[in-house]
């Protein structure tokens, strides 16, 4: 389960950075890397990012239920 959470979090971050580039520079990095927005590989990446965002809703909702203070108490600090 931890691996899925890390992979989906990484994909959500990639998606967020891609949207940052779209907003700031009108540059879609995913489309540039994989052959345009309509390319099959680009569409797969977009779908995986969207599914990852849905997956990340579960830990987000759990964190909202226990409250911010309790959620922060469970973090590991080094």
CA 32 to chain centre: 19
Ordered by start, the domain boundaries in the chain are 2-73
pLDDT digits (tens, 9 = 90+) for 24-61: 999 999 999 999 999 999 999 999 999 999 999 998 89
Q: What is the mean pLDDT of the chain?
A: 90
Count of other CB atoms within 10 angstroms of residue 20: 12
- Above 80 in pLDDT, residue 76? no
Top-confidence residue, 42 or 72 = 42
pLDDT of residue 31: 97
Q: What percent of the chain has pLDDT over 70?
A: 85
- Above 70 in pLDDT, residue 13? yes
Q: Is 67 left (phi over 0), alpha (psi -120 to 50) or beta?
A: left
């Amino acid at each position: 389960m931890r691996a899925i959470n890390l992979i989906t979090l990484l994909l959500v971050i990639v998606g967020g950075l891609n949207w940052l580039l779209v907003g700031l520079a009108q540059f879609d990095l995913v489309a540039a890397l994989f052959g345009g927005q309509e390319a099959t590989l680009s569409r797969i990446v977009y779908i995986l990012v969207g599914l990852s965002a849905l997956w990340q809703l579960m830990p987000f909702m759990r964190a909202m239920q226990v409250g911010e203070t309790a959620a922060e108490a469970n973090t590991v600090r080094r």
